[in-house]
Amino acid sequence: MVVDTSAVLAMFFGEPSAAWVAGQLNEHARALRMSTVNLAEALIRIRDRQPQLADELEERLLASGIRFVPPDVRQAQLAARARLTYPLNLGDCFAYALAKVEDSVILTVDSDFRAVDCRVLTPT
């Protein structure tokens, strides 16, 4: 399962879908992956929105058991195509690319993924 930035932020910022995200992360704990591009995006947003908790939240994220995957050339190509095909931001493009390369589902709370051509798990 590929974890999108929005899922991590929903949990860390106590958004309405936080409990759902936490449940999904627990249920799929052995199969969690995240692009290092999404990791950077999450760390930026955490430092921006919760500077006083940034070090603690960063440590929690890095120790969460998620396997962080650096993008390769194939993922860069898929991300570039996704940016032009779907209305996705840069981070979303790399979550999409990782999911495509690994034939995996994307865990997200972001409705921008509704049009992509891979499996997406969102709160109902």
pLDDT digits (tens, 9 = 90+) for 33-61: 999 999 999 999 999 999 999 999 999 99
Asked if residue 107 lies in contact with residue 1, where contact means CB atoms within 8 angstroms, the answer is yes
Residue 73 has pLDDT above 90, yes or no: yes
Asked if residue 37 lies in contact with residue 90, where contact means CB atoms within 8 angstroms, the answer is yes
pLDDT at 9: 97
Phi, psi dihedral angles at 96 (to 5 degrees):
-60, -50
pLDDT at 15: 96
Residue with token string 């994220």: 61
pLDDT at 115: 93
What is the pLDDT averaged over residues 99-117?
96
Percent of the chain with pLDDT over 70: 100
Confidence (pTM)? 0.95
Q: In CATH, which of 3.40.50.300, 3.20.20.70, 3.20.20.300, 3.40.50.1010 is domain 2-112?
A: 3.40.50.1010
Domains of the chain by residue range: 2-112
Could you tell me the pLDDT band of residue 68, with boundaries at 50, 70 and 90? very high
Residue 124 has pLDDT above 90, yes or no: no
Q: Which of 63, 33, 59 is nearest to 47 (CA)?
A: 59
Asked if residue 13 lies in contact with residue 47, where contact means CB atoms within 8 angstroms, the answer is no
pLDDT at 87: 86
